[in-house]
Chain A
């Protein structure tokens, strides 16, 4: 498994380097050699996309490109740079059993619960973590809970900290303090603004927005009227997904955004705004949703109005959304944001404490199966009928484990 992961990491790094070079090609600062490499890379990327498009036509549906793009925002650029950086872990080597702190979102929703129970099992199964000495703290709605837990972990001189930061700015100083104290910090599915973290295990969040929107644009043949439904204004994930979607739209002049709303990741709010939008807009060719937990609201609004649902694309498909997609034969594309990646975070932390080299940014898309964007044709693969609507795949452990922990239907 580890060999497979390393191989994928090498591929990911190579792809990222190619894409960075491709990005440099659009600037004026590249050398002749770089320009030559860029041209070569651009051609190969174009070739890949053409091949995929040809395959897609055979399958009767459009698919997103297989490689991520590197957007121009600071976050995306920092991730691209981190993906090329190998961390020297020799200074963090420790003797097992390891004393770890895990500071997470907490079980306030399905995502947070799956994250926690997956991490618990990964830590237990590793056999090298002292579970009695483990420090666990949850966000539970307050950044202060996480900053205090970071200070507690530093004071306890833990071997490592796994952090799901719910405030990129608010946790930066805490991460810097931990690093200064010689404690490695692996940020897991949500990072910090400071570059002082040891490694980040996550998805490239803006690219999720980009790829899902690109898939919708491709499905519409590059022209049509679309509606955008975002999460909560100002929240990192919502804004990064939006950023990516806007980048894809900027490349598609034939697409007209006829309405753009915030649904607050709430089905009721999403239903309310979509009812109004559906009434107002007689022609909607596609819908992009930044957080497909709002998908039921979109489906409700169209069904109430007696209208056919247009193609749908978005991020973070829940099991509930996939169930509705199956029941209503939805045509969709989705970019997952899997809580099960908590296991990957544990694996990276253990690799780190064993002194193995790790990448500063590990994109779980390359290491966790079922994390790459998928579409309607893969619905049967990733929908888990035996688990409830709050489950968010892919399954990292067997179905019964999640059923026993509150996700049985």
Chain B
């Protein structure tokens, strides 16, 4: 048999591989489309203007911190300190007097410090990112507790509520900011030399060092940007909710890691799709909305959420295994 002859079996194998490659890149987008189609059939009210706007708003909060998490995963790290930064930001914003931005300024300074310490511990002291950023999470939560003396609740200043609830062309300001940040991060990573160096730093740090890339600045940048984006998410979350409590930001570290992994990012670094991570952020938010709209019992909601997420990531894993 000639090696150039194309048999039906080979044709079929080639098609199968193409599908697998497609799904490995865009599996989460396919999962999102399936969910959106299911919503159209079973819960058409999902497409009501206010429901879509609220879902997009939720997705934007997850999405903004996911961009930061994605960049940290890109350089082989992980950032578990995100909820603490969001929580501290929310408290500082809530305690800002009317018309002042001092709370925000302090939050940004704290974020810079948190990012720098995470970088120092992970890169300079070789502490595993999981441990270092978890330690930072605990320390920052403790600092917030000491600062608030257990009283974190309160109404947010109206200026921040205006920011959190502002709408433009049918969507909230946070949604538009998220999309802008996505474009900016995409252009940086895939269209600039610095972005490509960052990807290479994550793919193969030793090779990057040998190539003369100053990898330290990319590690530093990843952690600091993640902390700063957490501040931004905290401002939007506090403003949108209009009220701050001790749970503000809780769970965002897991949501952002889940979204980034669904978007193709890996703990081994240097991989992933920002579009996929964004789709995953929207998938997480849409899932919550659809389940609530379907009126399922609360217990079933948790089971369904878990199963859909497992199915989405299993689809990618199966595809990757099959592609080898």
Contact = CB atoms under 8 A, between A and B. Distances in A.
Contacts of B237: 268
Contacts of A279: 45, 48, 50-51, 54
Contacts of B299: 233
Size category of the binding interface on chain B: 35 or more
A35 B292 CA distance: 47
Interface stretch (B13-21, B32-40, B242-250, B314-322): B242-250
Interface string B41-56: 0000100101100100
A273 B292 contact: yes
- Summarize A's interface: helix, strand, loop or mixed: helix
A262 B298 contact: yes
Interface string A98-114: 00000000011110110
Interface stretch (A148-156, A185-193, A196-204, A292-300): A292-300
Interface string A277-289: 1011000000000
B298 A266 contact: no
A59 interface: no
Contacts of A293: 153, 245
B149, B153, B289, B293: which has the most chain A beta carbons within 10 Å?
B153
Contacts of B145: 107-108
A320 interface: yes
Interface string A255-291: 0001111101111110111011101100000000000
A296 B48 CA distance: 24
A379 to B, nearest CB: 18
Contacts of B295: 258-259
A408 B246 CA distance: 17
Contact of A264 (B165, B247, B293): B247
A264 B248 CA distance: 11
Contact of A388 (B153, B241, B242, B243): B153
A275 B54 contact: yes
B308 interface: no
A271 B243 CA distance: 10
B302 interface: yes
A276 B51 contact: yes
B97 to A, nearest CB: 13
A305 interface: yes
Given A230-B298, A259-B292, A280-B293, A267 B241 contact: yes
Contact of A260 (B149, B155, B242, B297): B297
Contacts of A110: 150-151, 153
Contacts of B152: 109, 390
B243 A272 contact: no
Contacts of A258: 295
B288 interface: yes
B60 interface: no
B247 A266 contact: yes
Contacts of A296: 155, 241-243, 245
Nearest to A402: B151
Interface in A296-331: 296-297, 300, 304-305, 318, 320
17 contacts: A107-B145, A108-B150, A110-B150, A233-B302, A258-B295, A259-B295, A261-B292, A264-B247, A266-B245, A266-B248, A271-B240, A272-B58, A273-B288, A276-B54, A276-B289, A279-B54, A297-B241
Per CB-CB distance, the 5 closest pairs between chain A and chain B, nearest first, are A406-B149, A113-B150, A266-B247, A390-B151, A296-B243
